[in-house]
A = this chain, B = another copy of it.
Amino acid sequence: MPDATTVLATLDKELDWQRELYKDFHRHPELSLQEFATAKTIEDKLTGWGYAVQRIGGTGVVGVLENGAGACVLARADIDALPVTEATGLDYASTATGTDTDGSTVGVMHACGHDMHITALLGTAKFMADQRGTWSGTYIALFQPAEETAAGARAMLDDGLLAKVPRPDVALAQHVMATDAGTIGTTAGPVLSAGDSVKITVHGRGAHGSMPHNSVDPVVLAASIVLRLQTIVSRETMPGAFAVVTVGASNAGSKSNIIADRAVLLLNVRTYDTELRGRVIASIERIVRGECAASGSPKEPEFEYYDQYPLTTNDAGVNARVTEAFTAHFAPGTVYHTAPATASEDFSRLPDAFAVPYTYWTVGSVPSDVYRKAVANGTVAQDIPANHSPFFAPAIDPTLGVATRAQAVAALAYLAKGE
């Protein structure tokens, strides 16, 4: 048997087509649930390599490669782009536009690196097809739409994913980040926060601005709520526990001399703990209701939850096995322990639905010299365009190669003959 390193070396020759495909995806980004051309390309590739391919959840694509007895590994890439107008100046920059959920025309950009995720997983998928002799089991390459709107994983599940593919033993996903290119960050336990958005409408009573005594002032009510909500983190959460309650938007009224009849607050909640998440949400509702009562609000407040992301919490065993494989394969200094991030993802809905363990790791994408200089200067926040920035521009090399190998190494940790 050739050893893993020898086998994986074959991946390098794939980089030529991968680089071109990456640029092509980057040039042609598609918004969430509108990834039609992207899905078609993926479908064609997988089919060409011998995968049993299905469209699941509209623009979701799943390829299954059965290769004898053994474990079943599901690897997932997200495929959608963002309503951001690209400003990188790259020669393969996007000039695409799309129609946003509110009907407006917006610039579209792969500003979160999903194009890298697709291309790397396609590279790995070809590798797994080419190297069937070196492993045994089942490999599932899953390409998920609409991660950015938290809708894609659910759409695939709603479309019957569980019944349509073999139940995996483990699930794998990765994300490019604005850190040192070529490095891989892993961790056990919480790695991405649960995210919940809630739209709160509170009711006052409108009146002319000179007659406040005829009103229940929603501006004052909203202000009281905003200040009171601060105490969920400052007083009700155990010091050092992770919880964020952000009132991203607070809007009421449009004229100086008219007291409006309502205020609308948009909140975002982040937690690493399901029980704490529940308590934070209960506290939000308790505070809003209490403040409405204090104001004499004439009507119950309304709570509308949306963009809800699950907690992403890596299984300790899976993370250990994958981290060990990474460490064995990559050069020293490549793999490091990463702290949990405050961002959120919907990947974990998939393994959670199968009730299987998973791990999720990060891949750096900023040229090392640039990144290290910014770290040395303490100017990372200013100098390094992060995910979702119109300037976000992963270095194709070495990012694409590392990301492709990472998916392959992680899969082989479960599927390689001898494992």
Contact = CB atoms under 8 A, between A and B. Distances in A.
Interface of A: 193, 195, 197-199, 208-215, 217, 219-220, 222-228, 230-260, 263, 266-268, 270, 272, 283, 286-287, 289-296, 307, 340, 342-344, 381, 388
A328 B342 CA distance: 39
Contact of A231 (B220, B256, B272, B286): B220
A212 B246 contact: yes
20 contacts: A209-B246, A209-B248, A210-B244, A210-B246, A210-B342, A213-B238, A213-B241, A215-B235, A217-B247, A220-B235, A222-B250, A224-B224, A224-B227, A233-B239, A246-B259, A247-B253, A248-B259, A248-B260, A290-B295, A293-B294
A230 B222 contact: no
Contacts of A217: 231, 235, 246-247
A218 to B, nearest CB: 9
A270 to B, nearest CB: 5
A226 B220 contact: yes
Contacts of A227: 220, 223-224, 227, 230
Nearest to A236: B213
Given A210-B239, A215-B235, A197 B257 contact: yes
A238 B195 CA distance: 16
B210 A195 contact: yes
A272 B240 CA distance: 9
Given A232-B234, A248-B258, A289-B293, 18 more contacts: A193-B210, A197-B256, A208-B342, A208-B388, A209-B268, A210-B342, A217-B246, A222-B250, A223-B227, A223-B250, A233-B239, A239-B270, A248-B260, A250-B250, A250-B253, A286-B294, A287-B294, A290-B292
